[in-house]
Amino acid sequence: MLTEPIGVLVMAYGTPRSLAEVEPYYTHIRHGRKPTPALLDNLIERYRAIGGVSPLNDITSAQASGIEHRLNRFGPGTFKVYLGMKHASPFIADAVVQMARDGIRHAVSLVLAPHYSTMSVKTYQKEADDKAAELGIPSFVHVDSWHLEPLFIDLLADRVKTALKAFAPDAKVRVLFSAHSLPERILSLGDPYPQQLRETGDTVAKQIGLTNYSFAWQSAGRTDEKWLGPDILNVLRELHDGGEDNVVVCPAGFVSDHLEVLYDVDIECQATAQELGMHLTRTESLNADPRFLDMLSAVVLRRAEDLSGSGQ
């Protein structure tokens, strides 16, 4: 291990801190193009429906602080954690600038998403690398994915088992593992994202002896191109038509409570389920669960060993 402090760049999607920030946030997501009034109003109403703001920023900050505390437990000052957001302040590039100002020469990046995609995790890493190349430091090694980490699987398995307790012991219950949809063109690129979600769900299912489960995609973007499916709302309707009315949604692609969980699952999916007379519940998010932070810290520590091992 290096003797100088190692930087850790924890990256997440980001979210507005108030309704007034929704428009610039949405504009940033749209690469500088302002949303139409209808699109903006729709997004604002979704935030209002979950209480006005998402808890994501607070949760992400707690996750970053928890990771730093754990990394420095046995060597105070060995690691310094920085937080960078994709679409909200502090932005990824700003975090890298601060790392350079602090003299961080070697760093590990960790995206708070378990599954790798060239259209998600890779774009975070590229932003960090591009800014670091511009500044000259730091030199990054990246954590690409952690979708099969044993403790991650344990945590999801425990949450699925807990959610299943909401149903009668003899009830037939379908477990849906979901993640954020991405444009379908990633399939032609050989992108590992869909397969990694399946590997997570299959491994959880095997661990707890689950046989009645499947996969769905949610929260697709509002664009003209085709996105990965089947969409979770369509899956619910198909399950109902097939005589299955008990569902546990496990949003395995998300680690925190935020709009795509609190609205898309808890409100939108729940409304569809109620309309159909279905009983739907979801697994509890990982958020700042101490065991989850233990796992992320171990992943970072293992990747940091490559800094010294490569002679950097």
Cα–Cα distances (Å) from 281 to 117, 157, 159, 174, 284, in that order, read: 28, 15, 11, 11, 10
Please indicate if the annotation marks 184 as binding a ligand: no
Please indicate if the annotation marks 297 as binding a ligand: no
Please indicate if the annotation marks 279 as binding a ligand: no
Give exposure, 195-214, as e/b (b: 16+ Cβ within 10 Å): ebbebbbebbbebeebeebe
Please indicate if the annotation marks 46 as binding a ligand: yes
Measured in Å, how far apart are the chain's first and last C-alpha atoms?
10
Q: 3-state class of 255 per DSSP?
A: coil
71/26 Cα distance (integer angstroms) = 34
In the block, which residue shows the tokens 């949450």? Answer: 159
Please indicate if the annotation marks 193 as binding a ligand: no
248/67 Cα distance (integer angstroms) = 30
**Phi, psi (rounded to 5 degrees) for 13:** -70, -40
Return the closest-CA partner of residue 300 out of 126, 169, 119, 140: 140
Q: 3-state class of 279 per DSSP?
A: strand
185/156 Cα distance (integer angstroms) = 29
Check if the beta carbon of residue 114 is closer than 8 Å to that of residue 153. no
In the block, which residue shows the tokens 């399950």? Answer: 239
What interhelical angle do 193-208 and 150-164 show, nearest 10? 60
Please indicate if the annotation marks 116 as binding a ligand: no
Please indicate if the annotation marks 13 as binding a ligand: yes
Return the closest-CA partner of residue 204 out of 256, 239, 161: 161
Please indicate if the annotation marks 124 as binding a ligand: yes
> Residues comprising the binding site?
13, 30, 46-47, 54, 124, 180, 260
Known binding-site residue numbers for Fe-coproporphyrin III: 13, 30, 46-47, 54, 124
**Residues placed in the known binding site for Fe(2+):** 180, 260
